[in-house]
């Protein structure tokens, strides 16, 4: 194969791409070198600059940071929480929106569909700080709506932000509330794209609603569902920091039920200023995540060559 020659238009295109290229170098690729922090006791040497400090300053300690993480019982809890919530969310995020999108497709009125989609997608556009306030209106110990209802019906008020056992449910509801509308809109698009004549011929054959869903809609949605599941599997160690830090108000007494890897990484860095632990945990999360993502992407491609990220 002959090599293409460098053309004038290539220079123009390179020029056009320079700012974005610089952004990628600065905010994606330079931090990748920063990973060496995971293998040393990093500190900034005053007057020597960052690059010098990064490689020359601090002691190289090999895998000491990782050893600490593996021996730390808190880390086991954090990983357990991360996996627990992600698997739970994976199941709910698939079942609920698919079911609701199918039901929604049976509504007569397009206007009603539109209104429901608009309202259900709204939470997606609210920040976690806002969501944290919305939840507080329900969960506040002395003013919250939930406790008002409990007290009025003869119960005793619950200190929600100090009760670990209720948080898996609260986080599941909050997460679902924020995410389900967006997923419905997406699945609705796939359902609308299904060839209507399939339903018509099934109708002629006397198929019931359930049979049409079971033998037409679901099989046609299956590839999409599998692809999304697999891609999400690649993110099984990543959690939404806002949900687990902001919505829980970083309350200390419920950490056993709410602390995930991302919260740990943040706290190790900014509350304990331990760069090493934070970087080591990030590297583990990223390394395993990268492997899982590539693996799931590979499987997705096997199933359907058109899909996948790469």
Partner 1 sequence: MKHRNLSRSWHLVKPGTNALLSVMFALLGLLTFLPVLLVIIISFSSDSSIAENGYSFFPSSWSLDAYRYVWKSIDYIGHSFLLSIVVMVLGTLLSLWLISTMAYVLSRRDFKLKKIYTALILIPMFFGGGLAASYVVNTQLFGLKNSIFALLLPPACSSWYIIIMRTYFRKNIPVELYDAAEMDGAGPVRIFFRIVLPLSKPILITVGLFQAFAYWNSWYYAMLYISPNHKELYPLQYVLYSIQRNIEFMATNENISGAVVMELPAETFRMAMVALTIAPILVTYPFFRKFFVKGILTGAIKE
Interaction with partner 1 in 189-248: which residues (CB under 8 A)?
189-190, 193, 196, 199, 203, 209, 212, 241-242, 246
Interacting residues with partner 1 between 57 and 116 (CB under 8 A): 100, 103-116
Number of residues that bind partner 1 (CB under 8 A): 115
Distance CA 47, CA 54 (A): 13
Q: Which of 61, 77, 138, 236 binds partner 1 (CB under 8 A)?
A: 138
Nearer to partner 1, 74 or 112 (CB): 112
Question: Least distance in Å: CB of 270 to partner 1?
Answer: 7
Q: How many CB atoms lie within 10 A of CB 57?
A: 17
Q: Is 301 in the site for partner 1 (CB under 8 A)?
A: no
Nearest one of 174, 153, 152, 170 to 161, comparing CA atoms: 170
* Residue 16 in the binding site for partner 1 (CB under 8 A): yes
- DSSP string computed for 76-107: HHHHHHHHHHHHHHHHHHHHHHHHHHHHHHT-
Instruction: State the nearest-atom distance from the C-beta of 297 to partner 1, in Å.
Output: 9
Instruction: Report the residue number, 90 or 113, with the smaller CB distance to partner 1.
Output: 113
By C-alpha distance, which of 223, 241, 217, 130 is closest to 177? Answer: 130
Q: Is 303 exposed, middle or buried (0-12, 13-18, 19+ CB in 10 A)?
A: middle
What span, in angstroms and rounded, lies between the C-alpha atoms of 261 and 278? 10
CB of 250 to partner 1, least distance (A): 9
Burial 151-186, CB ≥16 within 10 A → b, else e: eeeeeeebebbeeeeebeebbeebbbebbbbbbbbe
**Candidate list 37, 101, 221, 300; residue touching partner 1; CB under 8 A:** 37
Binding mask 145-184 for partner 1 (x = CB under 8 A): x-xx----------------------------x---xx--
Q: Quick one: which of 76, 91, 99, 294 contacts partner 1 (CB under 8 A)? A: 294
Rg (alpha carbons) of the chain, rounded to whole number = 25
Looking at the Cβ atoms of 73 and 305, the one nearer to partner 1 is 305
Question: Which tokens sit at 151?
Answer: 């007290």
Which of 128, 229, 233, 251 is in the footprint of partner 1 by CB under 8 A? 128
The binder of partner 1 chosen from 55, 70, 84, 133 (CB under 8 A): 133
Asked if 27 is part of the footprint of partner 1 (rule: CB under 8 A), the reply reads yes
Nearer to partner 1, 87 or 145 (CB): 145
- Residue 60 pairs with which residues in a beta bridge? 40
List the one residue from 66, 85, 161, 275 that touches partner 1 (CB under 8 A): 275
When binding is defined by CB under 8 A, the residue of 76, 95, 218, 270 that contacts partner 1 is: 270
For residue 59, give both structure tokens: 């002691």
């Amino acid at each position: 194969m002959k090599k293409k020659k460098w053309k004038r238009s290539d220079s123009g295109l390179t020029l056009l791409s320079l700012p974005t290229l610089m952004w990628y170098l600065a905010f994606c690729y330079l931090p990748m070198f920063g990973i060496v922090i995971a293998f040393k006791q990093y500190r900034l040497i005053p007057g020597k600059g960052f690059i010098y400090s990064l490689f020359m300053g601090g002691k190289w300690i090999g895998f000491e940071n990782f050893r600490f993480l593996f021996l730390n019982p808190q880390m086991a809890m954090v990983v357990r929480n991360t996996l627990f919530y992600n698997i739970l969310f994976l199941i709910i995020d698939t079942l609920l929106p698919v079911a609701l999108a199918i039901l929604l497709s049976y509504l007569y009125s397009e206007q009603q569909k539109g209104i429901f989609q608009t309202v259900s997608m709204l939470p997606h556009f609210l920040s976690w700080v806002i969501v944290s306030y919305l939840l507080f209106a329900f969960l506040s110990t002395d003013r919250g709506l939930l406790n008002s209802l409990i007290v009025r019906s003869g119960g005793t008020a619950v200190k929600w932000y100090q009760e670990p056992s209720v948080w898996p449910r609260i986080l599941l509801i909050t997460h679902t509330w924020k995410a389900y509308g967006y997923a419905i809109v997406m699945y609705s698009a796939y359902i609308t794209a299904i060839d209507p004549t399939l339903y018509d011929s099934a109708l002629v054959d006397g198929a019931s609603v359930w049979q049409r869903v079971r033998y037409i809609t679901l099989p046609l949605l299956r590839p999409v569902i599998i692809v999304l599941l697999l891609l999400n599997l690649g993110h099984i160690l990543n959690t939404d920091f806002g949900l687990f830090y902001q919505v829980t108000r970083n309350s200390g007494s419920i950490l056993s039920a709410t602390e995930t890897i991302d919260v740990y990484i943040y706290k190790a860095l900014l509350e304990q200023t331990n760069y090493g632990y934070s970087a080591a945990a990030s590297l583990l999360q990223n390394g395993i995540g990268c492997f899982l993502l590539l693996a799931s992407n590979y499987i997705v491609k096997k199933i359907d060559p058109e899909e996948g990220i790469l």
